[in-house]
Structure 1
Amino acid sequence: MKKIPVLISLIASLVSTSVSYSHAETSELVASQPNILFIFADDWGWEDLSCHGHPYVKTPNIDRLAAEGTDFHRFTVASGVCSPSRTAVMTGHFPARYNVDGHFAWVKDNARRGMPDWVDPAAPMLPRMLQSAGYRTAHFGKWHISNNMIPDSPPASEYGYDEYGTFNASGEQMPYDHDARRAIAFMEKAKAEERPFFINLWIHEPHTPFHVIPKYRQMFPELEDDGDSIYAATLAYADERIGEVLDALDALDLADDTLVIFSSDNGPARAREGQELTMSYDSATGVGFGIAAAKGLTGGRKGYKAALYQGGINVPFLARWPGKIPEGAVDDQSMISAVDLLPTFCSIAGADLVEGYEPDGINQVAALLGESTTGREKDLFWKSETRRTKPEASSHWANYVVVSDHWKFLTNGDPSNMELYDIVTDPLESKNLAEAHPETVFKLQQKLTDWLATLPPEPTGDVFSKLRETLK
């Protein structure tokens, strides 16, 4: 990895204002171990919610989480694509620490990109830490920290799950829309055992292919464009299943004792203007409509899926925990990251972090409970697959990003391709301040260079398929 060029002398570090709670302090705020339900959508854009102003999509059940909890506007995921984003949630680390810079695909493609074939099960894992605190753990839905095209990849049970049903994983592919019913059955079982539970409910929607049930298209007779109708119907079906899970929490008298979070692994895919609508096949989920029906919206954020602009990484994040998280609130200040989820969930659950483990994220209990902040005590970093294009040619040009205090710096290693934004006053990234603040550019370049030096040059551990032998 070449070092980022240095322009001018280093200036002093900026002051961070984030607050972090210890286990002891958290225990004073949390009377007992709550259940944790983490709903992670796939390619769901920031504006793809009716409560965020989408012009035709209807999401009454997800909107309920915003009405009964807090809508966090500054949440960012750790990648613009699926696998690295999910790796960050599971490990609390930037995915580049595992050489996961893109989505897991065929072995040949993984090898070409210097990636492993799956995330090492021996890595620190959120579900195992929660198991150690007495939680029953489950994963239902998309996996993609390996791939169904790699048959010898480890199942979810090796990552700390008591029960699972997955697709985009080795073994039997769970039908994508069995996610809610499996989650509800698991909640019933955990309640009967009088155990707290942690459930990853990682839904398929609105990733391609779009699997559309006709009755949901009939809900939108005013939509004349087939792509719009398909997209709205796809999200309506996902919203209905989420509603079934929320209703089950009510019926089981568990809602008050359950932290529910809805988010997305990255920003939305977006069809090209005039793209022909065709059918598409996915080996994990089957046949559906293709990319021409991708109509996701970002609420004015620049870029879409795979970009490191806010449109690719700033996604919905709704959190509900009755009596703890403020009701009907909007937090447009707290800069929460996906790498914060592991330390935050463990703190809430009273789970100890693995000895010697240092998360890249921070404990965000304070922000969840209503104490919003505008800074962080740890910087955030992104590293993506090489695109090597110029900013004016594509929103996917940036390979590296640093967020430090109120600054966001993007580059691809070329000193002529650099952008700097005040992400607090300019969350839509409308004004590039790189030329006006060369000293800040230098400082963030140096932070990036130092961080890149901490990353492994290649994957290590038990992370390679036997199929790699066929490549020799």
Structure 2
Amino acid sequence: MKTRFLTLSALAAVSLLPSCAKNETQPNIVVILCDDLGYGDLSSFGHPVIQTPNLDKLAANGLKMTSFYSAAPVCSPSRAGLLTGRNPNRAGIYDFIPGTKKSEDCRDMVHLQAGEQTIPAMLKTVGYSTCLSGKWHCSSRFNSDAQPTPGKLGFDHWFATHNNAAPSHENPDNFIRNGEEVGEIKGFSCQIVVDEALSWLQNKNSDNPFYLQVCFHEPHEPIASPQDLVQRYHPLAENEDQAQYFANVANMDKAVGRLVEYLQENYGENTLIVFSSDNGPETLNRYYRAKRSYGSPGELKGMKLWTTEAGFRVPGILYWMGKESYSGTTDAVVSSLDFMPTFAEISGATLPDRELDGQSMTSLIETGTMKRAKPLTWAFYNALNEHRVAMRTDDWKILCRLKNDTTYLPMINNLYKGNEAFVKEADLVDFELYNMNEDISEAENVAEKYPEVFEQMKTQLKSEYANLLDGSFIWERKEE
């Protein structure tokens, strides 16, 4: 393992500056987020067929994070958690956000609310320009005055879709740019998203540091990929659909390569790049459009929508252009929830005055190690597996089911006044304990093998879950 070190003392001085000040030590920050990319989908994370040379190079030159977690095992809450540094339940985003069809459980009302404080809004207070290019999926009423648009939540420039690229990744026609419909765009979504990011960078009318969030649709269904790449993978795939998936990830990697090349040439002196996925891979044929979902969980148990590892343990890569920082592989437990406090520290911004669930990763950047002060907790009530609550801290992970009297909680999409008491009165039962240092596949429940650890983890999970429940937003439809 190659190791280099960064001294953050100069950057720490930025935090002493007034919130409106600019400073040359402020890095540009780029977050690249895939959609449904599995833990084992990159060649640097073990895929035997898909070639991802650009991301592999980032991982080789920077920090490859093998215990990186998304904020949820599904899209919308994961994105909300990344933007706010808070468990998405606190924002009332419990599952993916559908459209506007009225439902008893108020899912049609769900959105990232105006009172939430986001990374781009925070960075704007210390002089950053901000841009979103790609998927949004943080509101049920997209591009409507009824709910905040990305522009109202901190992005100076936004080019986005509500959910998936439609009708597929090829020639999408549902992008909105700063509130205006764009119409059909020829090409493939990941390349289009990078085109917009590059255009914004080239036409930015200031030399301010920038925050750029690039949110690919790939490799979420409906998958469509360039034929030259599909043909390249045909001999290595089981069928056309699998070749399409392999090519889809490879095309995303090519788009990353274009973006990184531009950043290196123009902003290589001080730009932090973080790459990850919103959740784990989709299950093949789970629903009618998932016919090309050949994503790999690697050694992990489960898939997207599970609270076992494959649901939210995803590839993580961090590379700081122009700065001497730790380079190598780390198994430190980190999360997209950590982005906000990290970006606040390195930019000199003041963190929002509210409870956060992430912590700064600057020690990880400096040394490749980080000890969590607060465990990562997930309560995903619509999980496909029965254990809906999970917690990871240090080498240990604990899961449990939720039960009211003699009845286990059914799958629930949203918390609202009609089911608040039912959910909050449920007991945590049927605990399972796993040693993640020895068993990332969650093959052996070691509760009996480590009784003291088990009791300690149970007590801690009950406390963390009670805190999360207490802070969870409950939706309520007012009388019309």
Which deviations, in whole Å up to 9, do the C-alpha atoms of 1:218-255 show, x marking residues without a partner? 22241351122010111122111111111211332x12
Q: Which residue of 2 aligns with 1:417?
A: 430
Secondary structure of the residue aligned to 2:68 is coil
User: Which of 180, 202, 206 is residue 215 of structure 2 equivalent to?
Assistant: 202
The 2-side partners of 1:397 and 1:172 are apart by 43
The 2-side partners of 1:416 and 1:292 are apart by 36
The 2-side partners of 1:411 and 1:113 are apart by 26
Q: Which residue of 2 aligns with 1:6?
A: none
Q: Is the 8 A contact 1:107 1:117 kept in 2?
A: no
Which deviations, in whole Å up to 9, do the C-alpha atoms of 1:392-448 show, x marking residues without a partner? xx6x22211122332211011256632111223323322211233444444333333
The 1-side partners of 2:261 and 2:94 are apart by 37
Q: Which letter maps to 1:306?
A: L
- Deviation, structure 1 residue 260: 0.8
User: Which of 363, 368, 382 is residue 366 of structure 1 equivalent to?
Assistant: 363
Secondary structure of the residue aligned to 2:196 is helix
The 1-side partners of 2:111 and 2:470 are apart by 16
Indicate how the Cα distance of structure 1 residues 241 and 325 shifts in structure 2: closer, same or farther if over 3 A, else same.
Answer: same
Show structure 1 runs of 5+ residues with no match: 1-20, 281-289, 388-393
Secondary structure of the residue aligned to 2:233 is coil
Q: Is the 8 A contact 2:76 2:95 kept in 1?
A: yes
Q: Does 1:79 align with 2:72?
A: yes
Q: Which letter maps to 1:136?
A: S
Secondary structure of the residue aligned to 2:269 is helix
The 1-side partners of 2:86 and 2:472 are apart by 16
Q: Which residue of 1 aligns with 2:412?
A: none
User: Which of 28, 46, 52 is residue 53 of structure 1 equivalent to?
Assistant: 46
Q: Which letter maps to 1:255?
A: G
The 2-side partners of 1:406 and 1:26 are apart by 33
Q: Which residue of 1 aligns with 2:375?
A: 379
Indicate how the Cα distance of structure 1 residues 207 and 32 shifts in structure 2: closer, same or farther if over 3 A, else same.
Answer: same
The 1-side partners of 2:37 and 2:357 are apart by 25
Indicate how the Cα distance of structure 1 residues 111 and 407 shifts in structure 2: closer, same or farther if over 3 A, else same.
Answer: farther
The 2-side partners of 1:221 and 1:458 are apart by 47
**What value does the CA root-mean-square deviation take over the aligned residues?**
2.9
- Deviation, structure 1 residue 115: 8.1
How do 1:101-250 and structure 2 match up within 5 A?
101-108=94-101, 111-112=104-105, 116-147=109-140, 151=144, 152-168=146-162, 176-177=189-190, 178-190=192-204, 193-222=206-235, 223-250=237-264
User: Which of 375, 379, 392 is residue 403 of structure 1 equivalent to?
Assistant: 392
TM-score normalised by structure 2 residue count: 0.80
Q: Which letter maps to 2:375?
A: D
The 2-side partners of 1:161 and 1:71 are apart by 28
What is the count of residue pairs matched by the alignment? 419
Q: Is the 8 A contact 2:74 2:305 kept in 1?
A: yes
- Deviation, structure 1 residue 322: 3.1
Structure 1's consecutive aligned runs of 4 or more residues displaced over 6 angstroms after TM superposition are 21-24
Indicate how the Cα distance of structure 1 residues 447 and 39 shifts in structure 2: closer, same or farther if over 3 A, else same.
Answer: same
User: Which of 323, 329, 338 is residue 336 of structure 2 equivalent to?
Assistant: 338
Q: Which letter maps to 1:348?
A: I
- Deviation, structure 1 residue 162: 0.5
- Deviation, structure 1 residue 23: 9.4
User: Which of 60, 80, 85 is residue 92 of structure 1 equivalent to?
Assistant: 85
Q: Does 1:291 align with 2:284?
A: no
Which deviations, in whole Å up to 9, do the C-alpha atoms of 1:79-130 show, x marking residues without a partner? 1001111111111001111221111113457752768520112212111110
Q: Does 1:32 align with 2:22?
A: no
Indicate how the Cα distance of structure 1 residues 325 and 93 shifts in structure 2: closer, same or farther if over 3 A, else same.
Answer: farther
- Deviation, structure 1 residue 325: 5.4
Secondary structure of the residue aligned to 2:460 is helix
Q: Which residue of 2 aligns with 1:17?
A: none
Q: Which residue of 2 aligns with 1:11?
A: none
Q: Does 1:352 align with 2:366?
A: no
Indicate how the Cα distance of structure 1 residues 302 and 115 shifts in structure 2: closer, same or farther if over 3 A, else same.
Answer: farther
The 2-side partners of 1:400 and 1:23 are apart by 41
Indicate how the Cα distance of structure 1 residues 368 and 255 shifts in structure 2: closer, same or farther if over 3 A, else same.
Answer: same
Q: Which letter maps to 1:401?
A: A
How do 1:274-289 and structure 2 match up within 5 A?
none
TM-score normalised by structure 1 residue count: 0.81
Which deviations, in whole Å up to 9, do the C-alpha atoms of 1:266-299 show, x marking residues without a partner? 0111215xx9xx9x7xxxxxxxxx3121111122
Percentage of identical aligned residues: 29
Q: Which letter maps to 2:297?
A: T
Structure number with higher relative contact order (C-alpha < 8 Å, ≥ 6 residues apart): 1
Q: Is the 8 A contact 1:82 1:102 kept in 2?
A: yes
The 2-side partners of 1:173 and 1:88 are apart by 27
